[in-house]
Amino acid sequence: MNSIDYIGIGVLVLLFNMGSPLAVAFAAGSIIIFLFSMNFPVPNVAQLVFGTVNSYSLLAMPFFILAGNLILRSGGMVPLREFMNAMVGHWPGGMAVASIIFAAFLGSVSGSAAACLAIIGTLIVPMLADSGYDRPFAAGMGVVAAEIGMLIPPSIFFIIFGAYNQISIADLFISGIGPGLLTAFLMCIAAVAISKRRKYRLSPRAAWPVRWKAFKRVFVVLLMPFIVLGGIYSGTFSPTQAAAVSVYYALGMGIIAYRELTWKGFVESLVDTAKLSSMIYLMFIGGDLFGKVLGYIGLPQMIAEWVLSFDLGPIGFLLAVEVLLLAMGFFFSSIPMVIIVLPLFIPSAKALGIDLVLYGNLAIICSLIGEITPPMGPQLWIAAPICKVKMGAIIREAWVFLGCMTLALLLSTFFPQIPMYLVQLMH
C-alpha cells in the first residue's frame, strides 16, 4: 500500500465517523484510490459504477420488494392471521406459535424483514397482548421471527449475495428452506415452553367449519409461494421473472381477491420500493468499489492464506468465520455485511472445497442475527416504536429466540444436509 491508498482509506473512515451514509463513505474513499493510485481514467470509473448495477439477476430485488409492499396493502394479512389463530390458537402457546409461523410466511412472501416487522408490530403484537401475552414477550419474539422470512425464499439477502458473487440465486433460495424451517420449529418449542411456564391464557378452540372458512379466505395468499418457487424450480421462469410474476400476483390479490388495494396504497408501495431499492443499489455500488480496492490491495488473498495456515479444515473454518461475523454483527448492519464482508472469505472457502451455496447460507444467517443484536441491530430500533415497547425489554425477551436461531446455525454447520439436501435433490 502506498500513501494514496492510506489517504483513500482515511477519507472513508473519516466520512464514516462523521455519520455519512456508508455508500458515500465507501465510494468516496474507493474513487480516490481508483483515480490516483490505480490510475483509472474517470470514464472507466463511471463505467464500473454502471456495470455494478447493470445486472439482470439484481432486477429481482426491486420486484420482490414491490410485491411485498403490495401484499401488505392487499388486505390478505388479516385473513392469514385469522387462519393461523383458528388452527392453533387453542394450544398452550398456540397464539405465539401462530405468530411465528405467520411471521415466517409473511417474511417469505414480502422478502423484507423491515416490512414483516412493521406488520407484526401493528397486527400481531397488539393481538397477542389482547390475548393475555406480555407485550415485551410478543415484541421480542416478533423481532426474531421477522428474520426467519429472510431465510425462506424469496430473500433480498440471497439475491444480493448471489448476484454480487455469481452464485446461483435459485440454489441459495432453496438452501434457506431447511434452516428457516428449523429455526421456526425451535422458536415454536421455546414459545410453548415460555407460555406454559408463564400460564398465558388460551384462545377458544375454533370449530372445523370456522377453520375451513378461514382457509378459503386465505388460500390466495398461501398459493403465492408455490407459484413463485414452483415456477423457478420447474424451469418455467428465472428468479427475476418470478419476481415480476409476484408483482402481478400481488396486484391481482389486492384488486380482485381482497379488493383493498387502493390507488393511494399502490403509489405508497412504489415510493417505499424506490426508497429501499435505491438505498440498496447505492450500497451495492459503494461496496463493489470498495471490494475492488480490497482486491487491488490483496486483502482477500491475504485472508485466505492466513486462514489456510491454521489448517482448520472446512468445519473449523466455518465456525471461525461464524464467530467473526457474529461479533461484527454487533457493530454493522446486515446489508453492508453481505456486500462487503462476506465476499472476503470466499477465496478461503473455495480453497477448502466448501460449497459456496453452503457458505453463503451460513454467512447470511450470521448477518441476520446481527440485525437483532445490540447496539447496532437496526431491527431493534425499528421494533421499539412500532411495538410500543422499550428496546431493553425487547432485548431481554429476544435472547431466547436468538439462541434458537444460533442453534439452527450450528446444526446447519455440523449437518450441512439441512441447507443442502434440497439443493442436491433439485439437481
Task: Give the pLDDT confidence of 157-174 residue by residue, as tens digits.
Answer: 888 889 888 899 889 989
Residue partners of 297: CB distance under 8 A and separation at least 6: 1, 5
In contact, 77 and 123? CB cutoff 8 Å: yes
**pLDDT given at position 25:** 85
d(CA 371, CA 110): 17
- pLDDT at residue 373 is higher than 90: no
Helix/strand number for the chain, H first, E second: 23, 0
Bond from prior residue into 154 cis (ω within 30 degrees of 0): yes
Residues 387-405, mean pLDDT to the nearest whole number: 89
pLDDT band for position 49 (cuts 50, 70, 90)? confident
pLDDT, averaged across the chain:
83
The whole-number average pLDDT for the span 221-242 is: 81
Q: What is the pLDDT of residue 182?
A: 95
Helix, strand, or coil (residue 76): coil
pLDDT exceeds 90 at position 122: no
Which has the higher per-residue pLDDT, 335 or 10? Answer: 10
The top-scoring range by mean pLDDT among 107-111, 234-238, 410-414 is 410-414
**148 in Cβ contact with 103 (< 8 Å):** yes
Dihedral Cα 308, 309, 315, 319, nearest 10 deg: -100
Per-residue confidence band for 238, with pLDDT thresholds at 50, 70 and 90: confident
Task: Summarize the confidence of residues 236-260 as an average pLDDT.
Answer: 88
**pLDDT at 306 exceeding the cut of 90:** no
Reported confidence tier of residue 129, pLDDT bands at 50, 70, 90: confident
Q: Please check whether residue 72 is in contact with residue 117, taking contact to mean a CB–CB distance below 8 angstroms.
A: no
Q: Which one, of 263, 261, 362, lies nearest residue 320 by Cα?
A: 362
Place of cell 409473511: 106
Cα distance between residue 356 and residue 165, in whole Å: 9
Q: Which of 353-357, 381-385, 415-419 has the lowest mean pLDDT?
A: 381-385
Mean local confidence (pLDDT), 351-371: 91
3-state secondary structure of 41: coil
Q: How confident is the model at residue 367 (pLDDT cuts 50, 70, 90)?
A: confident
Residue 333 has pLDDT above 70, yes or no: no
Comparison of pLDDT for 52 and 236, the residue scoring more: 236
Judge contact between 76 and 221, C-beta under 8 A: yes
With 0-12 CB in 10 A as exposed, 13-18 as middle and 19+ as buried, what is 35?
middle
**Average pLDDT value for residue range 365-381:** 78
Q: How many CA atoms lie within 13 A of 38 on its CB side?
A: 21
